[in-house]
Amino acid sequence: MTYFPVIENPYLDVMLRSVAVYFFMIAALRIFGKKELSQLNTADIILILLISNSVQNAMVGSNTSLTSGIIAASALFVINLIFKKVMLKSGFIKNLIQDKPEILIHDGKIDFKSIARLGITSEELEEAMREHGVEHYKDVKLAMFEIDGNISIISGNEALKQTRHKRKIHKTLGSLNN
């Protein structure tokens, strides 16, 4: 039993199903947070692969032809382009979909509530500080958890270069052998 209305044109049906899955995935990523986007470990990659496999049938239904796959992919690219342009023009939509940057440290004071809510460990915060050349949190003028999941730090030391911490992807078993 399907709850999605049946559309006579099979290709239009694939396009509409693909757009529906796209919006579902945007909502799911919004709910699960921006940290998930910036730091993928093995379990996260497996989850992404399984999600893509699980929503494939929701997008193309029983039509598994090459044309149907190309139409589904094209619909995703087009709706993504349109959605990005809408987000650029509409502050309301942008605020609805994207998180705002969060202050982690301000004038040497750690915001423990924000760190706990965002699921950032003290090790991750310390790693970001070390990568920015900051030894102690009291030397941090401002540390922000950016909308892309990265941590940027501005130190109180004028001699230090201001940098951004790009969160690294966790190593996999394959990359450990290199």
Taken in order 37, 39, 40, 42, the sign of the CA dihedral is negative
Instruction: Specify the pLDDT at position 93.
Output: 82
Query: What is the distance between the alpha carbons of residues 62 and 19, in angstroms, rounded to a whole number?
Result: 17
Q: Which residue has the tokens 């029983």?
A: 62
Higher pLDDT, 24 or 163: 24
DSSP-based three-state secondary structure for 135: coil
Query: What is the distance between the alpha carbons of residues 15 and 6, in angstroms, rounded to a whole number?
Result: 12
- How does residue 176 score in pLDDT terms, banded at 50, 70 and 90? very low
Instruction: Specify the pLDDT at position 63.
Output: 72
Higher pLDDT, 59 or 154: 154
Instruction: Specify the pLDDT at position 113.
Output: 92
Provide the mean pLDDT of the chain. 76
- The C-alpha R_g of the chain, in whole angstroms, comes to 21
User: Minimal CA–CA distance to 132: which of 147, 116, 143, 148?
Assistant: 143
First to last CA, the chain: 49
Instruction: Specify the pLDDT at position 178.
Output: 42
- HSE (side-chain half, CA atoms, 13 Å) at 50: 6
The model's pLDDT over 39-97, given as tens digits with 9 standing for 90+, comes to 556 666 677 777 777 777 777 777 777 778 788 888 888 888 888 888 889 888 887 77
User: Minimal CA–CA distance to 144: which of 161, 135, 132?
Assistant: 132
Please determine, for residue 12, whether its predicted confidence score (pLDDT) is greater than 70: yes
Contacts of 119 (CB under 8 A, 6+ apart): 33, 35
Reading the block at residue 25, the tokens are: 């995935």
Higher pLDDT, 164 or 55: 55
Over residues 118-128, mean pLDDT: 85
